[in-house]
Amino acid sequence: MASGGVILSNSFSFYQKRIVMSSRMQEKNGGASIPHVLSVAGSDSGAGAGIQADLKACAARGVYCSTVITSVTAQNTVGVQAVHAVPEDFVAQQLKSVLSDMQVDVVKTGMLPSVGVVKVLLQSLTEFSVRALVVDPVMVSTSGDVLAGPSILSTFREELLPMANIVTPNIKEASALLGGIRLETVADMRNAAELLHALGPRVVYDTGFSLGENLLQNGNVLVKGGDLPDSLDAVDIFFNGEHFYELRSSRIKTRNTHGTGCTLASCIAAELAKGSPMLTAVRVAKRYVETALEYSKDILIGNGIQGPFDHLLRLKSGSQSFHRKDAFNPSDLFLYAVTDSGMNKKWGRSMVDAVAAAIQGGATIVQLREKDAETRDFLETAKSCLAVCRSHGVPLLINDRVDVALASDADGVHVGQSDMPASVARTLLGPEKIIGVSCKTIEQAQQAWIGGADYIGSGGVYSTNTKANNPTIGLDGLKTVCSASKLPVVAIGGINASNAGTVIEMGLPNLKGVAVVSALFDRENVLAETKKLHALLMEASSSKIQ
């Protein structure tokens, strides 16, 4: 048992546990376990936030969601008209009903209206085993109505936060938890994240992947900067006790933002329940919310000033967008794994295993670069790898072959100067897919932008044996391209653990990460190499920010 009471499965890995659980259940019911989030929150009659948002977010992310209702609110797009707290012993009864019967992976909390309800929850968590606790410290609704009074602050601080694996306050909540300090800048948010981390959360999170890295332990804080004044981007600060990450997304102009906090926290919980590492879960959740807001920006529900959005991306009239992919997020370029079938064959592993290991190690985007594969085999490999990538919210691109990208429904392509022009690829693939273009010069970068690319790959930064006859542009060439580019850039060519830090620490404009082939795949242990590089990039990025 972890200190304070949340029981974590740290004796063996999540997958081992899943297999045992699953075989136990199969014995009993002939079924298999699925990822499960329990939402402990208030009901929103308008269904934009609260329990209703949590159910929709989990459904959208493919995770089962059970519910414990702490409070019933009469609420709409105008505001909160009335609140009826569910008696504490009845909250306890709901908790017992769910937790005694179902294997819950992650508990996510929203509105906890009284000290008694928090205590009831904490008591349940000492009695029943869950893998992680996600705390959205809901205090004030977006319409300004108080949902948990100041009397609860000390219980949050002293009892709930120390049990959380991640806490996700917005600026007002972070300020309230910290005794009313002013939060007006990104620097203030970083300070708040550090102070909140010092209060807790500090429970070790079993990622299920046996990663055992500091980066994923010690608890985590996400201070959401959506309400930060005068900011063009939506900036959130993620702090894991060692490193800060500025997670940026474009600010979407819409009235339909009611329930974004609940949804983000539920989505983090859902991704954790699937087994994602914490930072991946946060990134996926942010991208999901951004996509849903973008998608729903014009829908009209209710007459108040703040409307709900469409979690399932289905309501927009006249569109067939149910299958719409998430928008490209430049931060996905952070650790870009590019496969090589020759290398994986040499080390005796399949492409799917190699891709799964890279993702587990922290790869944030994957490109299948299969120079010698038969089309039919390439397509099958692409489909299998896509299933792995989708289950982890990691985009999969196809090198060169727009036809394979289309046929496999991959997330996009990467093309070079002698491949199909970006503008043609864009016409074939449509607006939703990701297109990357290799550029060694300012002119090529300009052309990629005009052609409708989403990012450029620039190199070879160092000499490489992976691509024959590839001119090296060096760090100077990279700097020239980055400085002129209107698109995000990923550096490529001869990048490995000994030089990746140097590339990132230069802090070049538009440079979002590194793309790597041999340093991940021409190695015996892809997982270990990817983890090592990921940790190193994190370190370099945080020293770049500071």
Residue numbers at the binding site for Mg ion (CB under 5 A): 400, 416, 419
Q: What are phi and psi of 212, to 5 degrees?
A: 55, 25
Q: How far is the CB of 537 from ligand LCLJCK34 (least distance, A)?
A: 15
Tokens of 228: 């930060």
Which listed residue (275, 393, 412, 460) binds ligand 3NM by CB under 6 A?
A: 460
Nearest residue (CB) to ligand 3NM, 273 versus 425: 425
269 touches, from ligand LCLJCK34, ligand 3NM, Mg ion, none (C-beta below 5 to 8 Å by class): none
Name the CA radius of gyration of the chain, rounded: 23
Question: Which amino acid is present at 416?
Answer: G
Q: How far is CA 165 from CA 69, 117, 161, 202, 220, in A?
A: 22, 19, 8, 7, 6
Nearest residue (CB) to ligand 3NM, 338 versus 402: 338
Query: For tokens 């290398």, what's the residue?
Result: 343
Catalytic residue, chosen from 260, 280, 464, 530, is 260
Residue 294 makes CB contacts below 8 A (sequence gap 6+) with: 252, 327
Tokens of 514: 């590194």
Stretch 306-345: interaction string toward ligand 3NM, x if CB under 6 A: --------------------------------x-------
Q: What are phi and psi of 108, to 5 degrees?
A: -120, 130
DSSP string, 428-470: HH-TTSEEEEE-SSHHHHHHHHHTT-SEEEE--SS--SSSTT-
Tokens of 201: 């959360």
Site for ligand LCLJCK34 in 294-313 (CB under 6 A): none
Catalytic residue, chosen from 224, 286, 433, 512, is 224
Active site annotation includes 224: yes
460 touches, from ligand LCLJCK34, ligand 3NM, Mg ion, none (C-beta below 5 to 8 Å by class): ligand 3NM
Residue 541 makes CB contacts below 8 A (sequence gap 6+) with: 243, 245, 334, 504
Longest Cα pair distance anywhere in the chain, in angstroms?
72
Nearest residue (CB) to ligand 3NM, 226 versus 460: 460
493 near ligand 3NM, rule: CB under 6 A:
yes
Site for ligand LCLJCK34 in 346-405 (CB under 6 A): 367, 369, 399-400
- Taking a C-beta distance cutoff of 8 angstroms, is the pair 500, 536 a contact? yes
249 near ligand 3NM, rule: CB under 6 A:
no
Q: How far is the CB of 464 from ligand LCLJCK34 (least distance, A)?
A: 10
Which listed residue (128, 295, 336, 378) binds ligand LCLJCK34 by CB under 6 A?
A: 336
Nearest residue (CB) to Mg ion, 193 versus 481: 481
Active site annotation includes 261: yes
CA angle 437, 443, 448 (to 5 degrees): 30
286 near ligand LCLJCK34, rule: CB under 6 A:
no
438 near ligand 3NM, rule: CB under 6 A:
yes
Catalytic residue, chosen from 48, 261, 307, 501, is 261
Active site annotation includes 259: yes
Three-state secondary structure readout of 125-182: HHHCCCCEEEECCCCECCCCCECCCHHHHHHHHHHHHHHCCEECCEHHHHHHHCCCCC
The β-bridge partners of 435 are 413
Task: Name the segment binding ligand LCLJCK34 (CB under 6 A); options: 102-110, 266-274, 413-421, 534-542.
Answer: 413-421
Q: Strand, helix or coil at 109?
A: strand
Chain-centroid distance of CA 480 in Å reads 31
Task: Name the segment binding ligand LCLJCK34 (CB under 6 A); options: 101-109, 213-221, 411-419, 420-428.
Answer: 411-419
Q: How far is CA 105 from CA 17, 518, 537, in A?
A: 11, 36, 30
Burial class of residue 173, CB neighbours in 10 A (0-12, 13-18, 19+): buried
Catalytic residue, chosen from 48, 109, 110, 262, is 262
Nearest residue (CB) to ligand 3NM, 19 versus 475: 475
Q: How far is the CB of 459 from ligand 3NM (least distance, A)?
A: 3
Which listed residue (283, 401, 467, 532) binds ligand 3NM by CB under 6 A?
A: 467
Q: Strand, helix or coil at 496?
A: coil
Q: How far is the CB of 371 from ligand LCLJCK34 (least distance, A)?
A: 7
- Report the phi/psi class of residue 82: left, alpha or beta, with left for phi > 0 and alpha for psi in -120 to 50: beta
Site for ligand 3NM in 403-432 (CB under 6 A): none
Site for ligand LCLJCK34 in 457-516 (CB under 6 A): 457, 467, 490, 492, 515
Q: How far is the CB of 521 from ligand 3NM (least distance, A)?
A: 8
Tally of helices (H runs) and strands (E runs) in the chain: 19, 17
Nearest residue (CB) to ligand 3NM, 110 versus 494: 494
Task: Name the segment binding ligand LCLJCK34 (CB under 6 A); options: 22-30, 156-164, 350-358, 414-422.
Answer: 414-422
Which listed residue (359, 388, 516, 538) binds ligand 3NM by CB under 6 A?
A: 516
Which listed residue (138, 211, 495, 503) binds ligand 3NM by CB under 6 A?
A: 495
Residue 360 to residue 151: CA distance in whole angstroms: 42
Residue 446 to residue 319: CA distance in whole angstroms: 32
Residue 505 to residue 272: CA distance in whole angstroms: 30
412 touches, from Mg ion, ligand LCLJCK34, ligand 3NM, none (C-beta below 5 to 8 Å by class): none
Active site residues per annotation:
224, 257, 259-262
Contacts with ligand LCLJCK34, residue ranges (CB under 6 A): 336, 338, 367, 369, 399-400, 414-416, 419, 436, 438, 457, 467, 490, 492, 515
Contacts with ligand 3NM, residue ranges (CB under 6 A): 338, 438, 457, 459-460, 464, 466-467, 470, 492-495, 516-519
